[in-house]
Amino acid sequence: MAQLAWLVPLFPLASYAVLAFRGRALGERAPYVAIGAMALSALLGWGAFLEQVAGAPPYVWRAVWAVGGERTLTVGYTVDPLSSITVAMITLVGGLIFVYSVGYMRGDPYYARFFAFLSLFCAGMLTMVLANSFLLMLIGWEIIGLCSYLLIGFYFRRRSANMAQMKAFLTTRVGDTLMLVGIMALFWQFGTVDYHAIFEAVREGGESASAVVRLGGWEVPLATLSALLVFGGPVGKSGQFPLHVWLPDAMEGPTPVSALIHAATMVAAGVYLVGRAYPLFFYTPHHEALAVVAWVGTLTALLAALMALAQDDIKRVLAYSTISQLGFMMAGLGVLGYAAGLFHLLTHAFFKALLFLAAGSVIHAVGTNNIKEMGGLRRFLPVTFWTFLAGFLALAGVFPFAGFWSKDEILLEAYHHAPAVYALLSATAFLTALYMSRLVAYTFFGTYRGPAHPEPDPWTPEDYARAGLHAPHHGHGTPHESPRVMTGPLVALAVGSLVVGFVGIPGTGPEGGSWIHHFLKFEGFKEAGIHAPSFSWPLALRSLGVALAGIAVAWLVYGLRAVPSERIRAWVGPVYPFLRNRMYIDALYGWVFVRGGLLLAAGLRWFDVHVVDGLVNLVGGVTVVTSRLHRLFDTYVVDGLVNLVGWVTRGLGLLLRPLQTGRAYNYILVAAAGLGLIVLVSLWRL
Amino acid sequence: MPILTLTLFLPLVGALVLLFLPKEDAERIRKVTFGFSLATFLASLGILSRFEFGRPGMQLVEQAAWIPAVGIQYKVGVDGLSLVLAILTTLLTALSVLYSFRENHRVKEYNLLFLLLATGMLGVFFALDFFLFYVFWELTLVPMYFLIGIWGGPRREYAAIKFFLYTLVGSLAMLLGILLLYFHLPPGQRTFDVLEIIRQRPLAGTGLLAQLAFWGFFLSFAIKVPMWPFHTWLPDAHVEAPTAGSVILAAILLKLGTYGFVRFSLPLFPEVFQQHAPLVATLAVIGVIYGALVAMAQTDLKKLVAYSSVNHMGYVMLAVAAAAWAHGRPELQQAAATALNGATMEMLAHGIITGALFLVVGVIYDDRTHTRGVDDFGGLWAVLPKYGAVSITAMFASLGLPGLMGFVAEFLIFVGSFSIFPVFTALAALGIVITAAFFLWTIQRIFLGPTNPRWAELPDLDRREMWTLVPLVVLMIIFGVYPKPLLDVINLASLDVVAMLR
């Protein structure tokens, strides 16, 4: 199976090609192509994964992609525990999202295009995961970026979607550029972009691995610098502070896209890359690059959880929770919890996909994103409610759901390796339970309030006409449950949100550890004498208590309204608008980078036209003026001289003219006189 | 069969044939022109089939005495660098001729000039004699001057004269450089043979004279590239030139400058170039960032693409400057070769991508809307799905999206140059973000959002337009996904140049 793993990304790629060229003709049948391709990928991916589970050795294949002098750049793929389990997750969760989309997107005028982009998205993600060099990883990585751009702006008639897609691409590209510089630095250092060669070199810590660069008087280990630059990519892609701003806006895409971006692909890419390139971070002096990862993650987790508290858009709350959970994963990886961070990536994929899809089902039913306009939906949407509840419990970290096991692992590692991180993450866990309970209370409990302004249709009548469809009527009476093709994936993901965590139960692996710890292990720990802390009941109970406390507080405020939220809002004063406006970070970027950039561009344009080109025209003008002067000189001096010669000649001619009488006897007289003169002179000489 | 000579003069023969066709028969003139340009393209592929991969140095050299008294000969040859650029030339000439089937104004002269231009450009890439090179170099100027001046837009005369004079000033400076080199050869051995002059480097160690000659060549090439701050002729020329003229201008004529730097400046003046490499790199980085920012502020699509060329050619020059810095530093040779591969790849990628972009602008401007204002559109993707797909692909290729050709070039330039000029390269990487920003903004303003009702009924690409655009898109993808075959050819030439820098 591992030898065939190269086909895994190619199936969705082929599906993309088919849908891009034949999508219109396929019409309603377009999803079969996409889902069929995904099923084949899943089959191969799971085959390779189960082989790894059974203990097959990692498989690596590479080929030369480009040459530079005598050096080569290779591309290829690796099948090992990390890549295979991630592929298994992507194909499963991604496939379920595809199925759900069949129902959610039905009747859309660009139905085939949607599935084409989804397929390409998964192809990019699978390429990125299976890649065995920074080069191929980057290719997959940017294809993901492209697809997120295309899908976030799928409703391309909407100005807000246009802005969101640009914001997503550009913000992540800032990170990508840093990563590219990091890759350049790695190539400089090691002469290759191959993962295995680089990781082997940093592990051995030879000369090139311990190089130092001077940055304005500071001596920075090159290894740390490269690792941190590479980390720029994940910061952008996985929505870490300060490049997190694009992720909440990515909600402009259709809901299945949000699920895909927030769970199985895109944001997972960043965390995966940190896991994949773990040696790069680990083998820096004092693991200092990992410390940065840990703190960026912790800060992100906390800030995003705070912002989530003040949002009213159901998808936006979930988006901030994604940022926060990604922070958890980064923090886990940063505090030496290699398996813990990646485990949370896997469990989170299930319950976050579930939450988004269930939210989509809610939006589908009520026609608004605003949770304040919902309420009491548990009666109208029973399947959606119960599955959402499963996702909620998993996210909040309630026993025995998946999030409990993976989040607990992270907290456990933090407790042992970085107590400050532990404290902050525990606070975040409390906030997580709080804002999620708030969301559940507003959406599913109380009485149904109904939307004041239902979302307008994203398409214009001409879009429908062009596709040969009729614009749907958006008459929303009472909300109704979604069709089976949508609830089916919800149920499957709900089951996943429960059972996926079981691989993290202590005792499922050898020596009393968990299976996931055994499967995803980082060899460097053993060499460095770092032992994973073993499961501890007091800590687990403490984190469970934190989660339950969050739920309880939310229940008091939003459920029983013992302390109405309005009073809390008044009590905290400016904190609420501060959080609600995303701490004004987006506004700041808008002023500094967008407006600043445009102003600079306009200024340089002026400079170009008036100064640079002005100089050129000045030279041209001066040349013209000089040539005019030349012409005067030419006319009066050069030509004047010529004329002078003419005049002199003419004057002499005039002087001599009287001699030219034209009468023969005059000439004969003169000739005779001359002859006489000659004779006289000759005689004289004698 | 002298394949190089055949390829070189086929277009000229075509031009002569056109002379005998009645100018009223526009259709036949177009077909004959296209036939000759296609034949030239096939002939250039014939060169490829005879090219020995893995052999360094010039190949398929053909030579004949011309003016032996002063050491001038007809000598042509190819290596990896000139071969790929020649094929690019013949391909884009054929596509430009095909695109121009709609041109109805003075068809005979128009097509004749295109064929003449093709011979001029091929001659620049093939020539191995400085005199011959100079003749072809100047020959490219004249047809383009008339193409802009006769078939151009409202300010065509200003643009044509600016283009002509600006580049002519450069050429004259180069001519002085050539003569300096020539007269420093020992009397009796004086020759214009490029390889011989490079071997002898007559100005090595002459101090001021070498400096003068270097700057002479530099001025000529820098104007052609164009490097900042010699770039302002470019937007004017592009805006006024007819679409096919813009395509050739951007895709090929700009490459004459970068080709000159790699072929002549590097091997002829390694010491002097090294001494000035930081300055050249500075100008290159300014070009990258400045070009991208000014492009962002444009509202005319052609100007926007023109400034994006300033940006992209800046990357090429950064790589060339990095290679120059590697002179005499054996530890940097591999990086220099990588950077030069990237530079050559960028020449090709920019040729294909920007060629496609100008065609894309032409398709919408010439026959459909007669406006190029970025803000005059909106929602076109829904109206023109094929056109949208092609344009968006080309724009993403231009902004360096992996999987498309521009990325390969930029990646190689960056990884190669970073080992030599880390700070300059890191600064140039900023350009990636700005380029992405203005292309995405352009896509948004033209293709997304509500449809401007004025354009609700536009027809999508017709078959001929597809034939001009699809080959370019296919090439972008093929060499973006698997560039190795192309790089194997290029790498030979880069290794040669690097060996000369040793």
B62-75 per-position pLDDT tens digit: 999 999 888 899 99
Would you say the C-alpha torsion A220, A222, A224, A228 has a positive or negative sign? positive
**Which whole number is the average pLDDT over A53-61?**
88
Nearest to A235 by CA among A201, A267, A282: A267
- Comparing alpha-carbon positions, the chain B residue that sits nearest to A142 is B402
Provide long-range contacts, Cβ within 8 A and 24+ apart, for A587-592. Answer: A589/A245
Say what the pLDDT of residue A477 is: 65
- Provide the pLDDT confidence category of residue B412 given band limits of 50, 70 and 90: very high
Hey, are the CB atoms on A463 and B382 less than 8 Å from each other? yes
Quote the crossing angle between the two packed helices A314-334 and A288-308, to the nearest 10°: 160
Segment among A404-418, A623-637, B199-213, B390-404 with least mean pLDDT? A623-637
- Helices assigned H by DSSP within B152-187: 156-183
Do A410 and A425 contact (CB within 8 A), yes or no?
yes
User: B489: which chain A residues are within 8 Å (Cβ-Cβ)?
Assistant: none
Assess whether pLDDT exceeds 70 at residue A31.
yes
Nearest by CB to A166, from B229, B441, B491: name it. Answer: B441
- Both structure tokens of A426: 């525990």
Residues of A with Cβ-Cβ distance to B449 under 8 angstroms = 156-157, 159, 162
C-alpha of B164 from chain center: 17
Tell me which H or E stretch contains A679.
helix A664-685
Count CA within 13 A, CB hemisphere, residue B308: 35
Predicted pLDDT at A374:
85
Residue from A181, A190, A252 whose CB has the most chain B CBs within 10 Å, to mutate: A181
DSSP-derived pairing of the beta strands A218-221 and A212-215: antiparallel
Contacts for A446 with CB less than 8 Å, ≥ 6 apart:
A375, A376
The verdict on B487 touching A (C-beta cutoff 8 Å) is yes
pLDDT tier, A592 (very low <50, low <70, confident <90, very high otherwise): confident
Task: Strands of A69-150 (E only): list them.
Answer: 71-79
Q: Which of B313, B260, B256, B321 is nearest to B290 (CA)?
A: B313
Give the pLDDT of residue B456. Answer: 82
Round to whole Å and give the CA distance between B433 and A50. Answer: 41
Integer Cα distance of A663 and B253 in angstroms: 74
Q: Which of B165, B232, B236, B393 to mutate to test the interface with A (most CBs of A within 10 A)?
A: B232
- Convert the pLDDT of each residue in B295-336 to its tens digit: 988 999 999 999 999 999 999 999 999 999 999 888 888 899
* Interface contact A466, partner B, CB < 8 A: yes
What pLDDT is attached to residue B180? Answer: 92
**Residue percentage of chain B with pLDDT more than 90:** 71
- The burial of A83, by beta-carbon neighbours within 10 Å (0-12 exposed, 13-18 middle, 19 or more buried), is given as buried
d(CA B418, CA B342): 12
Residue A572: phi, psi to the nearest 5? Answer: -85, -10
Q: What are phi and psi of A205, to 5 degrees?
A: 65, 40
Does residue A342 contact residue A440 with C-beta atoms inside 8 Å? no
Lowest-confidence region among A122-131, A577-586, B461-470: A577-586
Considering A354-363, A514-523, B113-122, the range whose residues carry the highest mean pLDDT is B113-122
Residue whose token pair is 């409610």: A385
pLDDT at A473: 67
In contact, A126 and A41? CB cutoff 8 Å: yes
Q: What average pLDDT does this structure show over B418-444? A: 90
Q: Which amino acid is at B419?
A: S
Any idea what DSSP says for residue A686? -
Amino acid occupying residue B469? L
Average pLDDT of chain A, as a whole number: 86
Average pLDDT over residues A305-311: 89
What is the rounded CA–CA span in Å between residue A259 and residue A122? 13
pLDDT of A209 reads: 66
- Residues in CB range of A68: below 8 A, 6 or more apart: B334, B335, B337, B338, B339, B341, B342, B412, B415, B416, B487, B491
Q: Which two tokens stand for residue A577?
A: 């608008």
Q: Among A17-26, B180-189, B281-290, name the most confident range.
A: B281-290
Does B200 contact A at CB distance below 8 Å?
Answer: no
Mutate to test the interface with A, among B448, B473, B498 (most CBs of A within 10 A): B448
**Pair B260, B307: CB distance under 8 Å:** no
Residues of B in contact with A620 (CB under 8 A): 162, 165
Residue A652 pLDDT more than 90?
no
Q: For A660-679, write each residue's pLDDT tens digit.
A: 777 777 788 888 888 888 88
Structure tokens at A521: 């292990």
Question: What token pair was written down for A417?
Answer: 């390796």
Read off the pLDDT of residues A321-344 as tens digits, 9 standing for 90 and up.
999 999 999 999 999 889 889 999
Q: Could you give the CA distance from residue A402 to residue A390 in angstroms, rounded to a whole number?
A: 10
Q: How far is B410 from chain A (nearest CA, A)?
A: 11
- Distance, CA of A368 to CA of A366 (rounded, Å): 6
In angstroms, the CA A328 to CA A89 distance is 19
Strand-pairing partners, residue A59, are: A79
Mean residue pLDDT across chain B: 92
Residue type, A607: F
Mean pLDDT (whole number) for B14-28: 92
In b/e form, how buried is each residue of A237-257, taking b as 16+ CB within 10 angstroms?
bbbbbbbbbbbbbbbbbbbbb
Q: B393: part of which helix (H) or strand (E)?
A: helix B385-398
- Taking alpha carbons only, the member of B178, B99, B96 closest to residue B137 is B178
> A-chain residues within 8 Å CB-CB of B450?
157, 460
Q: What is the mean pLDDT of residues B107-122?
A: 94
Question: What's the pLDDT at A472?
Answer: 75
Q: Provide mean pLDDT across the span B191-204.
A: 90
Preceding peptide of B485 cis, ω within 30°:
no
Position A208 scores a pLDDT of 65
Average of pLDDT values for A449-475?
A: 77
B82 touches chain A (CB under 8 A): no
CB-nearest partner of B293 from A20, A176, A600: A600
Q: Is the pLDDT of residue A507 over 60?
A: yes
Q: pLDDT-based confidence at A471, cuts 50/70/90?
A: confident
- Return the number of CB contacts < 8 Å for A and B: 168
Contact B498 A69 (CB under 8 A): yes
Cis amide leading into B229 (omega within 30)? yes
CA A85 to chain centre: 22
pLDDT value at position A207? 67
Q: Residue length, chain B?
A: 502
Question: Chain A within 8 Å of B449 (Cβ-Cβ)?
Answer: yes
- The pLDDT of A314-323, averaged and rounded, is 90
Q: What is the pLDDT of residue A624?
A: 83
Bridge partners of A79, per DSSP, are A59
pLDDT at residue B474, as a whole number: 95
Contact across the interface for A65 and B432, Cβ inside 8 Å? no
In this structure, are strands B59-67 and A212-215 parallel, antiparallel, or unpaired?
unpaired
Percent of chain B with pLDDT over 70: 100
User: What pTM was estimated for this model as a whole?
Assistant: 0.89
Residues 6+ apart with CB under 8 A from A463: A109, A110, A157, B382
Q: Do B484 and A159 touch (CB under 8 A)?
A: no
- B289 to chain A, minimum CA–CA distance in Å? 10
Helix H or strand E segment including B72? strand B72-78
Higher-pLDDT residue of A652 and B140 is B140
Encoded amino acid at B331, one letter = E
pLDDT in tens, A345-398: 999 999 999 999 999 888 888 888 888 888 888 888 888 889 999 999 999 888
- For residues A280 and B404, give the distance between their C-alpha atoms in angstroms, rounded to a whole number: 28
Residues A267/A273/A275/A279 CA torsion (nearest 10 deg): -160
DSSP string, A521-584: --HHHHHHT--PPPP-HHHHHHHHHHHHHHHHHHIIIIIS-SS-HHHHHHHHTTHHHHHHTGGG
- Calculate mean pLDDT across residues A555-563: 82
Instruction: Quote the CA–CA distance of A73 and A579 in Å, as a whole number.
Output: 47
pLDDT tier at A531, thresholds 50, 70, 90: confident
Among chain B residues, the shortest Cα distance to A463 is held by B382
Q: What is the mean pLDDT of residues A516-523?
A: 85
Domain boundaries, chain A: 286-451+479-572, 587-666
Is A379 in the B-facing interface, judged by CB distances under 8 Å?
no
Whose tokens are 């008639």? That residue is A157
Cβ of A173 under 8 Å from any chain B Cβ? yes
Give B-chain residues touching A159 at CB under 8 angstroms: 449
Q: How far apart are CA B417 and CA B414, in angstroms?
A: 5
* pLDDT at residue A475 tops 60: no
Identify residue A119 by its one-letter amino acid code. S
At residue A148, the 3 state secondary structure works out as helix
A177 touches chain B (CB under 8 A): yes
Which one, of A239, A233, A152, A226, lies nearest residue A184 by Cα? Answer: A226
The chain B residue lying nearest A607, using CA atoms, is: B294
Q: Residue A465's closest chain B neighbor by CA?
A: B382
